[in-house]
């Protein structure tokens, strides 16, 4: 059974649960392929992930669908930002036209940290609380998000905004660990080890080092 990703871009692209005639092949193919991309990217299997992404782009591009192709790049950017990769989402911005929806544009602003004046109602439901919360209350929000990828994305955005604390780093670490998402797990374990060493917490740093070594030995090809 398809596990839905916590990305509005994917939900809008797939439209598989709506009533009416079944969606065309290009749409279901693209939705399946972008989910495969996310799965393998999060596992650190980058070559395979990129292959699936390019196939997804070929599916929407072959149908001449500008908005849906832009949405694929938006989904890719969100996955990369969940992994704490500072992607500027330039490909989405290049493709975004009047054909893109206000929800797409709001999501783009959300994942690129442009939160001033953003309308939370345009965002996916799981992200509205974070966008609406005052800066001194945002660190409490991600832990309440039930979807693992949405939770990891929120934690990573807070780190990028420098609004995080040790609890956010731990939340992101254990979210990635529980899902077997090796790429973000390695990043967050490394950040936590640096933090522990800076604080003189050598025992914690040593425990994190052992976890890092385990993850490094299991990472797929670059």
pLDDT by residue (tens digit) across 51-89? 999 999 999 999 999 999 999 999 999 999 999 999 899
CB within 8 Å of 88: residues ≥ 6 apart? 112
Residue 109 lies in a domain: yes
Alpha helices in the chain (DSSP H): 8-14, 25-42, 46-62, 66-82, 90-95, 102-111, 125-132, 148-160, 166-179, 182-198, 202-218
Residue 174 lies in a domain: yes
Residue 3 lies in a domain: no
Assign residue 219 a region: left if phi > 0, alpha if psi is -120 to 50, beta otherwise?
A: beta
Q: Greatest CA span in the chain, whole angstroms? A: 62
Residue from 82, 111, 182, 109 nearest 119 by CA: 109
Residue 214 lies in a domain: yes
pLDDT of residue 34: 94
Residue 176 lies in a domain: yes
The total of structural domains in the chain comes to 1
pLDDT cut 70: percent of the chain above it:
90
DSSP per-residue letters across 153-187: HHHHHHHHTT---HHHHHHHHHHHHHHT-HHHHHH
Residue 19 lies in a domain: yes
> Measuring CA to CA, how many Å separate 101 from each of 13, 15, 35, 132?
12, 15, 21, 21
pLDDT by residue (tens digit) across 157-210? 999 999 999 999 999 999 999 999 999 999 999 999 999 999 999 999 999 999
Residue 2 lies in a domain: no
pLDDT by residue (tens digit) across 20-29? 678 899 999 9
Q: Domain of 185?
A: 8-218
pLDDT by residue (tens digit) across 36-56? 999 999 999 999 999 999 999
Residue 119 lies in a domain: yes
Tokens representing residue 123 in the block: 């965002």
Q: How confident is the model at residue 222 (pLDDT cuts 50, 70, 90)?
A: low
């Amino acid at each position: 059974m398809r596990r839905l990703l916590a990305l509005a871009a994917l939900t809008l692209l797939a439209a598989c649960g709506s009533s009416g005639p079944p969606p065309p092949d290009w749409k279901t193919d693209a939705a399946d392929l972008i989910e495969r991309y996310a799965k393998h990217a999060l596992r650190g299997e980058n070559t395979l992930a990129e292959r699936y992404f390019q196939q997804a782009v070929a599916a929407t591009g072959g149908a001449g669908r500008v908005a849906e192709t832009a949405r694929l790049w938006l989904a890719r950017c969100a996955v990369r930002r969940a992994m704490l990769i500072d992607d500027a989402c330039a490909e989405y911005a290049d493709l975004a036209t009047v054909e893109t929806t206000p929800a797409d544009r709001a999501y783009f602003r959300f994942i690129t940290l442009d939160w001033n004046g953003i309308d939370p109602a345009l965002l996916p439901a799981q992200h509205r609380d974070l966008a609406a919360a005052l800066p001194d209350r945002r660190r409490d929000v991600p832990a309440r998000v039930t979807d693992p990828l949405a939770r990891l994305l929120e934690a990573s955005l807070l780190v990028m905004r420098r609004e995080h604390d040790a609890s956010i780093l731990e939340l992101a670490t254990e979210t990635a660990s529980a899902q077997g998402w090796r790429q973000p797990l390695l990043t967050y374990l490394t950040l936590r080890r640096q933090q522990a060493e800076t604080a003189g917490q050598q025992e914690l740093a040593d425990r994190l080092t052992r976890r890092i070594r385990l993850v490094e030995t299991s990472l797929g090809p670059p």
